[in-house]
Amino acid sequence: MTIWQKIENKLGEKIVAQHPVGGGCINQTYVIETENSKKIFCKINHSAPLDFFEKESEGLKALSQVKTWKVSSPLLHLNAGNTTCLLMEYVEKKHPTTEYWQNLGRSLAELHKIYENNFGWKDDNYIGSLKQINNRKSSWEEFFISNRIEPLVKLALDKKIISKSEANLFTLLETKILNIFPKEKPALIHGDLWSGNVMPTIDNTPAIYDPAVYFGHREQDLAMTILFGGFPSEFYRSYQQHFPLHEDFLNRKDFYNLYPLLVHLILFGRSYWYDIEQILRKLK
């Protein structure tokens, strides 16, 4: 039985149209229409672990604790052979406005006010197609080194993406890390927050998706918003209004971004090494 047949069986109705949509570099994505005129967003992956979308659904549930943004509800998750699929509520997109960016800043601040005692998550999940290690730690510095940096440096080395001498540059971070990050409570964070994982809905409510959630340092989310071009100033002003950051955030944002840059290095190749190396050399 194909994945599409399994979807029809679970829905209890025929699929009359499948419209591929762009934006995903990990999954195939579609808007499907059923015989009863329902529109459903569908994500399919032919090579991911079979719990891939189960972990995403758990992350979406965590994000839905914030009521001022829209989280697309997971409808069902199913597997067929090596293929895994997630059906989600379809959300219509609108052009972003100033009000949208202000609402997104406020909503992210509300997410970051959800705390836990330790950094980490109840189990491992995924960022992109890579496993994300979430062993609980009492300090952000320990969590960041042992769960974020070390596993990916080892993976990049094993895959021969970086050399041993390049891997050794990360010892600079380990020796200086206690002087980099301000002390914060472990906050619930999105974990993969860039412009491709948020969008405005028809009433200017932010829609948010594709999480890689855990309890981390809230500045990790803010740093990643800047990594690939940044969000408009209205977003940052709104966030600051509702949950001000410690001073000098812009001077330390790059150190948080070592993690997503390592993810991109492993998934997409050596072009990301230059930025990583420049950040590490700031520590000399």
The CATH number for 75's domain is 3.30.200.20
Give the pLDDT of residue 284: 83
116 plus 223 within the same structural domain: yes
133 plus 26 within the same structural domain: no
Q: Which of these, 179, 164, 171, 187, lies nearest to 243 by C-alpha position?
A: 187
- For residue 30 the two structure tokens come to 């579609």
Q: Are 63 and 211 in contact (CB under 8 A)?
A: yes
Assess whether 192 carries a catalytic annotation.
yes
114 plus 254 within the same structural domain: yes
230 plus 163 within the same structural domain: yes
Three-state DSSP at 35 gives coil
Q: Which of these, 85, 13, 23, lies nearest to 52 by C-alpha position?
A: 85
The predicted-structure confidence for 116-138, as pLDDT tens digits, reads as follows: 999 999 999 999 999 999 999 99
Task: Identify the domain boundary among 39, 59, 89.
Answer: 89
Beta strands at 83-89 and 28-34: parallel, antiparallel or unpaired = unpaired
Task: Identify the domain boundary among 89, 108, 135.
Answer: 89
Residue 101 CA: distances (Å) to CA of 49, 95, 275: 34, 11, 28
What CA–CA distance (Å, rounded) separates 21 from 203?
22
Q: Which of 192, 210, 221, 254 is catalytic?
A: 192
| Structural domain count of the chain | 2
Would you say residue 88 has pLDDT above 80? Answer: yes
Alpha-carbon radius of gyration of the chain: 20
Residue 36 CA: distances (Å) to CA of 1, 86, 130: 23, 20, 37
Range of the domain at 26: 3-89
The predicted-structure confidence for 181-203, as pLDDT tens digits, reads as follows: 999 999 999 999 999 999 999 99
pTM of the predicted structure, to 2 decimals: 0.95
DSSP 199: E
